Structure 1
Amino acid sequence: MTEQPKNPILRSRWRQLAAAPLCIAALTLMTGALANAQDLTLSETGSTLLYPLFTTWVDAYIKSHPGIRVSTGATGSEAGIQEALTGKVQIGASDAYMSDADMRQHPQIINIPLAIAAQTVNYNLPGLNATHLKLDGPVLAGIYTGAIRNWDAPQIAALNPGVALPHQAIVPIHRAEGSGDTFVFTQFLSFSTPAWESDKGYGTTIAWPAVPGSASAVGNAGMVQALQTTPWSIGYVGISFSDKVAAAKLGTVALKNGAGEFVLPNKDTVTAGAASLGPRTPPDERLSLVFAPATGAYPLVNYEYAVVSTKQPDATSAAALRRFLLWTIVPSETNEAYLDTVHFIPLPPHTWELSQAQIQSIR
């Protein structure tokens, strides 16, 4: 039996998972080196939010699993899903789950949560970036539709009494490509603002309103760069880029959650958001964690998915894929350290059991 983690929280999770259908001892054996495999390559592409974690995972995995290579790419969640559907890659990394319509068309595809992440809303207001401005869904929806044009608009001022807001035009920035970050951000706008829901809705791509002066950016790195170089701008960024946001000296919004509180993104608030909705996760694990009603919950929280086919080209590839995906979700202090580097949190026991069951269906 593998040694239990020293961290009491991880140790508790370990003991809970040991009673799951696939016990930890069996899982540990399955995640050993793939016997008789030589130069087998698994392919992944998609989410730029998940990409920093995937590269960390891959660097560690290939060191202990000779003969296995994993190619990675940061092409956006929509591209990751599409390439998984067409079989161009074995793992489509996505911050978004597939729609009901896509699932009906592709019944062999599964959506497997590997971790829990979040998005931040960031801005570049010279002189105010150290201040955590308070914003809510309706105000953000107003900014992205052009109904709220200036930083000192009454709707923003009402949420930030005492803050000397500038009379400058707001520059809303959105993702140019199909993005899971866009999926999560527009879910928040939809769930918090009925007018946005009835008009624009949510998705990895949407028909963004033509707001004068608005801009687009490719990937989370592109979003950070666009915000840094564009005074008076606002945008949404995957939390794995928080260190780059800090280095760029951008402001971070305190968002109004479903309980009416203004909260900042951190490990405790992301955990609270996931904990309040995670137990509702169905067997296919397609569930939004956005705008949870719980106290202390950050509202832009999401599962990070591996979109894969249960029907692999051969048994060897299927076994290698199962082993790698199981390895990524094994509860341990090492794996939690990998998640900490990108400000993610691990799956809770209920979701972990569902994920390992879905992984086991890959053949």
Structure 2
Amino acid sequence: MIDFTKSACSAVTLAATLALATIALPAAPAYADDVTLTETGSTLLFPLFKIWVDEYTKTHPGIHITTNATGSGAGIEQAISGAAQIGTSDAYMSDTQARQHPEIINVPLAISAQTVNTNLPGLNNASLKLDGPVLTDIYRGKIRAWDDKAIAALNPDVKLPHHDIIPVHRSEGSGDTFVFSQYLTFSTPSWENDIGYGTTIAWPTVAGGLNAEGNLGVLQLVQKTPYSIGYIGVSLHAEIAEAGLGTAALKSYSGEYLLPSPETIAAAAAALTPRTPPDQRLTLVNAPGANAYPLVNYEYAVVSTKQAKPESAAALRKFLLWAIAPDESNERLLDEAHFIALPAHIWVLSHDQIETIK
């Protein structure tokens, strides 16, 4: 079981708080009562977003925020089309999308991760070691049985069952697919050359392979399907534990086999956040350095800087600045959903992007 009882948020929150000494948070412009904002997108961010909305609207009764878990692909699309003021996504917009829609910004709100989960009867308490090439061959159908020599070589002390592997992937456009397929791409040249990464990809046809919609859909399908494997957002940590699924220890860039924890997620983020450009479109997958869990990502709000109404723009700015505020209250909310706070440097970039919303 993954231990999220000890949080790494305190250090990054302290750093961000120090940043406030030199960057004052401006007062948000006044806005009319009864402003409605619409959010849709990431099923990984959805649990945290619901917590944020419930907490925020307690003290801002004139603001109404609707939330929908539709997948990161839909979040990006609806932010671009204007159907939603906030499109949430585990993936940043592609270069092509960014060029075509320069008014749309990608704003990190927090840092999260994905887990790779298995349903192996009698072995779900063991954390199997898996790496990118093995996962690639499982999702290509080249590794068909759990006792395949490649898996056995990584787990010499585990008696693996001689049973077909049932790979499960997302059916809709998904930021989790984006992150997972990046791990396969960065670690395995054959996957990079043939398939690559994205919120939607051309999954190879694998006998017995299954797909499901949303993180919860994948979890439920893996739970009811013995000998299956799937990737799930860490915000469903409690549900993963309740379902009794195994969580794989994944090979990092530096060669360690790691489970996701506040410490390993924060280590991965710390390794790459200094490289984050002003538009904040950067992957945190397969970060270099010690103790860096490989499936880590920014959680984005995809937002138009050109809102239809000034009161909507003001309400949107104020809510997003509140969501990333480096204080103990926000740290508690992040802990509740197993997310990591933004480091100080990234908080500054997100703050500056949010201020461009008009």
Give the TM-score normalised by the residue count of structure 2.
Answer: 0.96
What code does the residue aligned with 2:257 have? F
SS at structure 1 position matched to 2:20: helix
- 2:48 corresponds in structure 1 to 53
Give matches, 1:105-144, under 5 Å.
Answer: 105-144=100-139
- 1:81 corresponds in structure 2 to 76
Give matches, 1:34-49, under 5 Å.
Answer: 35=30, 37-49=32-44
Give how far 1:317 is off: 0.9
- 1:10 matched to 2:13: yes
Structure 1 segments of 4 or more deviating over 2 A? 7-13
Percent of pairs with identical residues: 61
Aligned equivalent of 1:273, options 260, 268, 275: 268
SS at structure 2 position matched to 1:115: strand
Give matches, 1:236-247, under 5 Å.
Answer: 236-247=231-242
SS at structure 1 position matched to 2:111: strand
- 1:148 matched to 2:143: yes
- 1:189 corresponds in structure 2 to 184
2-side partners of 1:10 and 1:117: how far apart?
Answer: 15
- 2:351 corresponds in structure 1 to 356
Give how far 1:35 is off: 4.0
- 2:295 corresponds in structure 1 to 300
User: What does the per-residue CA deviation read over 1:224-261, in whole Å, with 9 as the maximum and x for residues that have no partner?
Assistant: 10010000000000000011000000000000000000
- 2:209 corresponds in structure 1 to 214
SS at structure 2 position matched to 1:18: coil
1-side partners of 2:11 and 2:116: how far apart?
Answer: 33
Say if 1:124 and 1:234, in contact at 8 Å, map to a contact too.
yes
1-side partners of 2:138 and 2:11: how far apart?
Answer: 44
> Taking structure 1 as reference, are residues 264 and 323 closer, same or farther at Cα in structure 2, changes over 3 Å only?
same
Aligned equivalent of 2:160, options 154, 160, 165: 165
> Taking structure 1 as reference, are residues 53 and 213 closer, same or farther at Cα in structure 2, changes over 3 Å only?
same
Aligned equivalent of 2:96, options 98, 101, 104: 101
User: What does the per-residue CA deviation read over 1:68-93, in whole Å, with 9 as the maximum and x for residues that have no partner?
Assistant: 10010000000010011100000000
2-side partners of 1:58 and 1:139: how far apart?
Answer: 40
Say if 1:200 and 1:206, in contact at 8 Å, map to a contact too.
yes
Give how far 1:9 is off: 5.9
1-side partners of 2:275 and 2:316: how far apart?
Answer: 27
> Taking structure 1 as reference, are residues 8 and 100 closer, same or farther at Cα in structure 2, changes over 3 Å only?
closer
1-side partners of 2:202 and 2:297: how far apart?
Answer: 22
Give how far 1:323 is off: 0.4
- 1:310 corresponds in structure 2 to 305
> Aligned pair count?
349
- 1:19 matched to 2:14: no
Say if 2:12 and 2:344, in contact at 8 Å, map to a contact too.
no
1-side partners of 2:276 and 2:208: how far apart?
Answer: 40
Say if 2:16 and 2:345, in contact at 8 Å, map to a contact too.
no
Instruction: Show structure 1 runs of 5+ residues with no match.
Output: 1-6
Say if 2:31 and 2:314, in contact at 8 Å, map to a contact too.
no
2-side partners of 1:251 and 1:191: how far apart?
Answer: 24
Instruction: Show structure 2 runs of 5+ residues with no match.
Output: 1-9
1-side partners of 2:175 and 2:215: how far apart?
Answer: 11
> Taking structure 1 as reference, are residues 106 and 9 closer, same or farther at Cα in structure 2, changes over 3 Å only?
closer
Give how far 1:10 is off: 3.3
What code does the residue aligned with 1:15 have? L
What code does the residue aligned with 1:78 have? G
- 1:64 corresponds in structure 2 to 59
Of stretches 250-259 and 336-345 in structure 1, the one that deviates more from structure 2 is: 336-345
What code does the residue aligned with 1:340 have? D
What code does the residue aligned with 2:356 have? S
Give how far 1:49 is off: 0.2
- 2:282 corresponds in structure 1 to 287
- 1:339 corresponds in structure 2 to 334
1-side partners of 2:44 and 2:248: how far apart?
Answer: 19
> Taking structure 1 as reference, are residues 107 and 13 closer, same or farther at Cα in structure 2, changes over 3 Å only?
closer
1-side partners of 2:83 and 2:71: how far apart?
Answer: 15
What code does the residue aligned with 1:300 have? L
User: What is the RMSD of the two structures over their aligned residues, measured on CA atoms?
Assistant: 1.1
- 1:3 corresponds in structure 2 to none
Say if 2:195 and 2:201, in contact at 8 Å, map to a contact too.
yes
- 1:260 corresponds in structure 2 to 255
Say if 1:37 and 1:68, in contact at 8 Å, map to a contact too.
no
Give how far 1:219 is off: 0.3
1-side partners of 2:196 and 2:312: how far apart?
Answer: 38
Say if 1:109 and 1:307, in contact at 8 Å, map to a contact too.
yes
2-side partners of 1:259 and 1:203: how far apart?
Answer: 24
SS at structure 1 position matched to 2:184: helix
Say if 1:93 and 1:307, in contact at 8 Å, map to a contact too.
yes
User: What does the per-residue CA deviation read over 1:144-171, in whole Å, with 9 as the maximum and x for residues that have no partner?
Assistant: 0001000000000000011100000000
Q: Which structure has the higher relative contact order (CA within 8 Å, separation 6+)?
A: 2
> Taking structure 1 as reference, are residues 217 and 36 closer, same or farther at Cα in structure 2, changes over 3 Å only?
closer
